[in-house]
Structure 1
Amino acid sequence: MEEQSCIWSNKILWFMFQSQLGQRALQYINCSYCLFKSKLS
């Protein structure tokens, strides 16, 4: 379930940042945050 919301968030971020660099940066930040959150729980 947690992973689904991660993917969903990435899609939203992709639409917000269409540029290649912005997309990659946001995906990296978002995935790192998700991994960090899952380690806490």
Structure 2
Amino acid sequence: MSSQPSCSQTTPSSATQSIRPVSIKQLQTLGGASGDDDAL
């Protein structure tokens, strides 16, 4: 019983931290690409 809640809390925390930095980089890259597309 204790193992299940522990794993659940750890999984989202790790996933969120990993996704956040990646999302920021992707947003910056997409933003630059979008700007070029709009200019074209």
Taking structure 1 as the reference length, what is the TM-score of the superposition?
Answer: 0.49
- Looking at secondary structure, tell me which structure has more helix per residue: 2
Rg: which structure is higher? 2
Taking structure 2 as the reference length, what is the TM-score of the superposition?
Answer: 0.50
